[in-house]
Structure 1
């Protein structure tokens, strides 16, 4: 991926703009997850009910630990499944805008296994929102022309795999949304009991 494209996208994010970016699953709608204004814009663009949380993407375990509370089980899970198509739900730390948690006090976090997404987060040096680049309830976009949500910048990553991430609540050790790698995740959680 062209370094200039990443830099352009980062400049948009720094101004509370919305960037559509490729991940290892589908196209995501990225905004600076530490900016209340940017997070508000994500909800508006997606026409997403404010009671529904929005996940964030981070580039490594250190950044994950900065936004969410990790215990030994969560660390073992993260070591096993991330980077990859799995979102972990953990207790959110207070640095995140409350809107992201939808009033739950918990945050979904993923480390996408995609060089563009990781470069974007690393360059911004902050987590970005990791919600699908669609109107709430609409189909998940796997090509740029399927993106119909308002945005300021789009990074074309071609055709993406299309299977959404598996969402795992590590606080209650349950699978909230089956997706990619769901069997492996289920086996890991089963082994904890």
Structure 2
């Protein structure tokens, strides 16, 4: 064991951060660090990470199905059509984080993704272009620590902001990179680290 892992009741050694929450453990075991592709998928991840800014991920995870329902399963074309009337309805929706700036930003971001698609570009491809080289995606075991940002997340954040996206700061983008398999930040000793390497 390390400062970053522990043996759970099921006998499996994992990262410590899921604690004892079954949903969080399932997310750690099945999703965190698994590569994700496609514009709708990447749009969902960018949106949820944006809503998470200033909150804990478990807060978002517990409401993820509510977010999916409220935001049309994060289908870019559908979210881009949401109006101010929809924003007011979303502000009353207890199944999501009711933050007007984040809701409005999600709709704006959907329109930006749609505009990129009309120009023959893909948000998924743009985001993945900032991934570190494959041989550097698993973080070093020497002096391991979870970082908040990297040069790649700084560059990704800068590019998305240049394109007009909101709630895409470097810390948020590094969380996206961890969650979507750009980097393998499972702690040394965690069973998923080896599986995803």
Higher helix share: 2
Q: How would you bin the TM-score normalised by the shorter chain?
A: under 0.3
Higher strand share: 1
**TM-score (norm. length: structure 1):** 0.25
Highest Rg: 1 or 2? 2
**TM-score (norm. length: structure 2):** 0.25
